[in-house]
Amino acid sequence: MTSTPKQKRLQRMRQLYGVDDDWVEAQLKWQNGCCDGCRREFNDKRRYVIDHKHNIKFKVVRSLLCDSCNGALGIIEKLRKDVKTYERLNLIVDRFKHYEKEYAK
């Protein structure tokens, strides 16, 4: 018997993260069907990914995010470890903030 794409995805989630369909459905309900980061609704184009903590001995599943927020969160976590780079990048953002006010649409 062949598995559907949804069944394959659920099997992979169970193996990788230790969550099942009930957990995903409960989390989607708790998050109102939206990404826990940007709060945009999940749909055919914006699918959820399971956000989890990396580089620890056990699995810690945190929430459901869209691809963009999941990638951004990974970058933020790396930058928090490199304070000097984080501060320099913030200076660049702050240095050009006045353009946002002057040329905002």
96 or 91, greater pLDDT: 91
Domains held by the chain: number? 1
State both tokens at 105: 């649409």
Secondary structure, 3-state, 5-47: HHHHHHHHHHHHHCCCHHHHHHHHHHCCCECCCCCCECCCCCC
Dist CA 31 CA 38 (whole Å): 11
- Whole-prediction pTM: 0.74
Q: What is the CATH number of the domain that holds 42?
A: 3.40.1800.10
Q: What domain range includes position 63? A: 5-102
Predicted confidence (pLDDT) per residue in 27-85, tens digit: 999 999 999 999 999 998 888 999 987 777 777 889 999 999 999 998 988 888 888 99
Give 81: exposed, middle or buried? Use CB within 10 Å, 0-12, 13-18, 19+. exposed
The owner of tokens 């099997």 is 11
Q: Which helix (H) or strand (E) holds 93?
A: helix 83-95
